[in-house]
Amino acid sequence: MANQLLMPKATAVWLVDNTAMSFDQIAFFCHLHPLEVRAIADGESAQGIKGMDPVMTGQLTREEIAKSEADPNYRPKLSEPKVRIPETKRKGPRYTPLSKRQDRPNAILWLVRNHPELKDAQISRLVGTTKSTIEQIRNRTHWNATNLQPMDPVTLGLCSQIDLDLEVQRASRGTQPQAPTGDTLLPASMTETRSVEREEADHDKELDASKVFAKLSSLKGNRDEHEE
């Protein structure tokens, strides 16, 4: 939130009564018209308003007042706040400017297709829409369904990438990871085990072959003995 002057008329009353600043300087600092400041000085305006010291509230320094009093052309500057007040959390759907509302159905279609894990309430928070509109786009019953094109809401300026990532992260909590589909590489431990088993099997085959040859040789020797 931009730094703004608190109670400008009450501040103008105090500056008129307690400083030698010009009407133009007070009008510039308090965002008032110079004639309105003159009316305050003449007692024609702001009657009954108690002046508020901007120095006490930390919005104007004594140095700025001194510079303004020494130079009529100088324009006093509002002091930076020492304490940053966090912005209040937004409640309800996000407000969407009129110029971007026509792109909202395209953003909803993009979210429905690319992030099916998002709930309707999350989509509503991201792009500022209603659940009925989301349901119509899901079911292709929207009045302009044939002309809709999926478009990234971040690119359209309807939400920030941080907000989108946060909602996707929330929606993904507690969901089981999808099982891999298609051919996948086996872990190294399994491949090593299978290679060892294959080597042992090949070794056993070699042993079996030697036994077979030995047996054939013995059979041939017996046959030669019978022939003699």
Q: What is the pLDDT along the chain (228 residues), one digit of tens a residue?
A: 446 788 889 999 999 999 999 999 999 999 999 999 999 999 888 777 888 999 988 889 999 999 999 999 999 998 886 655 454 555 555 555 555 567 889 999 999 999 999 999 999 888 888 889 999 999 989 888 889 899 888 888 888 888 888 888 888 875 555 554 445 555 555 555 555 566 665 555 555 555 656 666 666 555 555 555
Give the domain range for residue 149: 98-172
CA-to-CA distance for 94 and 156, rounded, in angstroms?
14
Query: Side chain identity at 157, as an amino acid letter?
Result: G
The answer to whether residue 57 is domain-embedded is yes
CA-to-CA distance for 88 and 85, rounded, in angstroms?
9
Residues 64 and 103 in one domain: no
The answer to whether residue 128 is domain-embedded is yes
CA-to-CA distance for 129 and 94, rounded, in angstroms?
8
Strands (DSSP E) contained in 13-73 are none
CA-to-CA distance for 15 and 29, rounded, in angstroms?
10
The answer to whether residue 162 is domain-embedded is yes
What total of structural domains would you count in the chain? 2
Last residue of a domain, one of 140, 172, 204: 172
DSSP state at residue 1: -
Last residue of a domain, one of 127, 149, 172: 172
The answer to whether residue 35 is domain-embedded is yes
Residues 115 and 66 in one domain: no
The answer to whether residue 131 is domain-embedded is yes
CA-to-CA distance for 81 and 65, rounded, in angstroms?
17
The answer to whether residue 153 is domain-embedded is yes
